[in-house]
A and B are shown apart, each in its own frame.
Chain A
Amino acid sequence: MANLTICLPTRNRQSYCIQTIQAIADCDTQDFEVIVADNSDDGSVLRDFFSKTFSDPRFRLLAPRTEVLSMVDNWERTLAEAKGRWVSFIGDDDFIDPHVTSLIGRYERLHSEVDAIGWGRMSFNWPDNRPAPTLASIPTTFQTTIPVKSDLQNRLYRWSEGKRRPAAGFGIYHGAIKRSLMERIRRKYGGRHFEHPIVDYENSCKVIREARMLVHCQRPFSVLGACAASNSAGTQSQTTMTARVATFKQETAKGVQMERPDFPFSRLEKGASITMSIASTTWWFSKTYGIDLTGFPENFARAAMHECRHLRSQEDYDLTVACFQAGFAEWDGGRWAGLFEPPPFGGIKSVNEISGVVMDTIYLSESKLKVRTPGEFYKFGEHAVAPVSNVVSGTRVFSR
């Protein structure tokens, strides 16, 4: 039985997906499998790739269904096919190093209870997703931490840090979850592994509530990629974000709805931000499953202001602020509206131009990089982080 199942759901981005498959297949490790769940309108591209060009017994292709699935349903059917003891999901424009199986093995030997493993992630924008200056990132530390669950829950459910993205750190997306934990989640949460359209954050909510033991390795083992066609490309431009939100809602019309009358931010499209989408997810989970949300409104207001400080243009700023204001005005009868006081737009900023090393992470100007894909970027970045063999053997002494 494979130790790890890497799930690769994809929709209409076959060329990225093929490059991701090839990058993962380069790895000589054998104790993993990859399930490519094709949800594309045209199934022939990946079918032909698997039948004519590519041959690797570690990889399986799930053909598209007759009807297009929502993302959450495509994830659900992928996990049902997984045979590995551990499961991980990545996007079709991302990368994961299958050597992460040896990290999983080490943590299992050290901590028999462990059922959720997180790791550092590099980030990389594909060359077609750089309308403005962009930065790739490489975390360079490699320590292991075992966080306290209540801290994680405070950060994710109640947004205690007040940042534009709550730090989840654990989840099946760019993390590894023991399949037995996913089965427990399925039994406890409506008979499904995944319910909410924002599947990654939804899963993080469930994992940090249900996991027996969570272990995190700072060393990166995967790359969060963003191509021009990705949802994350919305972070580069408000126009792209609006279009992505509209498409996303259309494709996830069935099942759990993002739009909730008790959290009206998610109903808005113009000026929508990823901060709102994540908040609508953690709000939905917390409300649905009875999580205490004391402090969330205040923290979310801080997060909203934090998001506004990161906007690049006056136009984006105006749209996003108006969107937040409309949401706060409607939410809970306007009870929290006074907390949202974004600072004025700070002028055109050199956002994503400051490459360099900050807090042990290298930020790289992507326009100056020669690497073209997340897989290539991972190999590039590995030159500045501790080798997997040292991390897995628990090496503590290094020479300088």
Chain B
Amino acid sequence: MTVLSICIPTRNRQTFAMDAVRHMLRSTRQDFEVLVADNSDNPEPLRLFAADVADSRLRVLPPEPQPLSMRANWDRLIPQTRGEWLIIIGDDDYADPEICEVIRVATAAVRLVDAIAWGRSYFSWPDARAAREVTVIPTGSHLVNVEKKDMMRKMFFWEEAKDRPGCPFGIYHGAVRRELMERIRSAFSNTYFEHGNVDYDNICKTVMMADAFVFWERPMSVFGACRASNSMGLRDQEIGRQRNATFFAENPDKFEADNFPFPIAVGVTASIGHTIESFKQRYGIELKGWEENFISACAKDCETCVDRAQFETRKAGYAKAIKAWRGAAALSRFKPEFKWRPGVPKFLGTAENLLFFDMAMGDARSAAEFYDVLDAMLFPVHLLETRLTQPLRTAEAA
């Protein structure tokens, strides 16, 4: 039986996807599959790759005659999957097939669980790294039972948000039951994904529809960022403009919510704000009391800037939007500070259940190789069950 389908939508970055797949197929597990949805202009590289690999666990969906929007490419994946559980990652990311073991243990502990997430880890591919870069991973290994109401608050009320809501549950870098995706489709306009910001669109729906959530503190996947990725646009204004232009050219669906005057290009918080607002507006969900947290997140988005000019531009963009949205008084909540101190060395080591280390550790050349480094120094997946000698922790206790 296929427990897990690891889905990789890709467009014109075939070599990245191939690297991830090659590493996944090293696993001796037979209870997962990898499904690549190729949306590239040239179908040959992935077709030849699949033929060369000749592994029944790998399937490649060839490109359609015309390139699909990202949303449509994600959408066509789901009906093709065979797994009981599904995960989608980017082509420059990585996910460990051992997620099957996490699913086994989590479902044994919480029968109704239909959304599983894990600790985050981030990797910039060498081509996207200008200089030394420090990354951070959680070092805990507790399996945590997360309350739905807490996730609702984090997602829709932006509680404890940094520059984005701190809700990890969803199909992107999380595992969701296939049956949950079907419920989502039937509840929301007969389609799996509606908004161009597919990951956050799905988080909204997962939080609304899932019955039970389990979180494992230990990272099981890697968010990669290669030079050609959209995430690079968050670091470089010019690249950001180019990526946005390409994205909107390739994704003609309506992206912006009504009466939400935040230009998408101003920052990631605005972009996610549009996604959540679009979802709420489409399905008639009206909430009060989230605006202040959202404005704080806008300030935090400004504070991620490592360039003074970029900070000022972003700050001005958000300030203008906030004023137009909720009036000048709302700006009292918006007080970003430029915190980047290039002369202060970066912390390396452990603090507050986190490990800070130089991304070049182990000389990883890809997200998959980076995961290998993490895997060597994190709690072993095969011993996860031993963590269950006591009842599952609740999020508060963790």
Interface string of A33-56 (1 = CB under 8 A from B): 000000000000000000000000
Which of B122-130, B253-261, B285-293, B356-364 touches A? B356-364
Is A86 interfacial (CB 8 A cutoff)? no
Q: How many residues of B contact A (CB 8 A)?
A: 28
Residues on A with C-beta less than 8 A from B236 are none
- Complex alpha-carbon distance, A360 and B355, angstroms: 9
Beta-carbon contact of B376 and A398 below 8 Å: no
Beta-carbon contact of B355 and A383 below 8 Å: no
Residues on B with C-beta less than 8 A from A364 are 376-377
Q: How large is the interface on A (under 10, 10 to 19, 20 to 34, 35 or more residues)?
A: 20 to 34
State the A residues within 8 Å of B (CB). Answer: 140-142, 350, 353-357, 360, 362-366, 368-371, 380, 383-387, 390, 395, 397-400
Is B1 interfacial (CB 8 A cutoff)? no
Beta-carbon contact of A355 and B380 below 8 Å: yes
Beta-carbon contact of B377 and A360 below 8 Å: no
In-complex Cβ contact of A398 among B136, B344, B355, B379 (8 A): B344
Residues on A with C-beta less than 8 A from B139 are 356-357
Is B84 interfacial (CB 8 A cutoff)? no
Closest A residue to B353 by CB, please name it: A357
Apart from A140-B348, A357-B350, A364-B376, 5 more pairs, CB < 8 Å: A356-B139, A363-B377, A369-B376, A383-B358, A398-B344
State the B residues within 8 Å of A (CB). Answer: 136, 139, 141, 341, 344-351, 355-358, 360-362, 372, 375-380, 383, 386
Q: Can you name 16 A-B residue pairings with CB atoms under 8 Å?
A: A140-B349, A140-B350, A140-B355, A141-B350, A354-B380, A355-B376, A356-B380, A357-B377, A370-B372, A383-B358, A383-B360, A383-B361, A395-B345, A398-B348, A399-B344, A400-B347
- Complex alpha-carbon distance, A357 and B357, angstroms: 13
Contact status of A357 and B355, CB under 8 A, knowing A384-B348, A386-B348: yes
A357 CB to nearest chain B CB (Å):
4
Beta-carbon contact of A387 and B376 below 8 Å: no
Beta-carbon contact of B376 and A386 below 8 Å: no
In-complex Cβ contact of B141 among A356, A368, A369, A380 (8 A): A356
Residues on A with C-beta less than 8 A from B347 are 386, 398-400
Contact status of A400 and B356, CB under 8 A, knowing A142-B349, A368-B372, A386-B348: yes
Beta-carbon contact of B348 and A385 below 8 Å: yes
Closest B residue to A367 by CB, please name it: B376
Residues on B with C-beta less than 8 A from A395 are 345
B383 CB to nearest chain A CB (Å):
6
A261 CB to nearest chain B CB (Å):
46
Contact status of A384 and B345, CB under 8 A, knowing A353-B383, A365-B376: no
Beta-carbon contact of A356 and B348 below 8 Å: no
Beta-carbon contact of A354 and B348 below 8 Å: no
- Complex alpha-carbon distance, A43 and B349, angstroms: 43
- Complex alpha-carbon distance, A47 and B21, angstroms: 49
Beta-carbon contact of B349 and A360 below 8 Å: yes
Residues on B with C-beta less than 8 A from A380 are 361-362
A367 CB to nearest chain B CB (Å):
8
Closest B residue to A139 by CB, please name it: B349
Residues on A with C-beta less than 8 A from B380 are 353-356, 365
The 7 tightest CB contacts between A and B, nearest first, are: A383-B361, A398-B347, A368-B376, A140-B349, A357-B139, A383-B358, A384-B357
- Complex alpha-carbon distance, A356 and B383, angstroms: 12
Residues on A with C-beta less than 8 A from B361 are 380, 383-384
Contact status of A390 and B345, CB under 8 A, knowing A356-B379, A365-B380: yes
B230 CB to nearest chain A CB (Å):
25
Beta-carbon contact of B379 and A354 below 8 Å: yes
Beta-carbon contact of B376 and A385 below 8 Å: no
- Residue from the set B139, B141, B377 with the largest chain A CB neighbour count within 10 Å: B377
B377 CB to nearest chain A CB (Å):
5
Contact status of A370 and B379, CB under 8 A, knowing A356-B139, A360-B350, A397-B344: no
Beta-carbon contact of A398 and B357 below 8 Å: no
- Complex alpha-carbon distance, A357 and B374, angstroms: 11
- Complex alpha-carbon distance, A125 and B107, angstroms: 37
A376 CB to nearest chain B CB (Å):
10
Residues on B with C-beta less than 8 A from A368 are 372, 375-376
In-complex Cβ contact of B358 among A140, A360, A384, A390 (8 A): A384
- Complex alpha-carbon distance, A399 and B351, angstroms: 12
- Complex alpha-carbon distance, A34 and B362, angstroms: 28
Closest A residue to B136 by CB, please name it: A400
A366 CB to nearest chain B CB (Å):
8
- Complex alpha-carbon distance, A363 and B141, angstroms: 14
A27 CB to nearest chain B CB (Å):
19
Residues on B with C-beta less than 8 A from A363 are 377
Residues on B with C-beta less than 8 A from A141 are 349-350
Residues on A with C-beta less than 8 A from B351 are 400
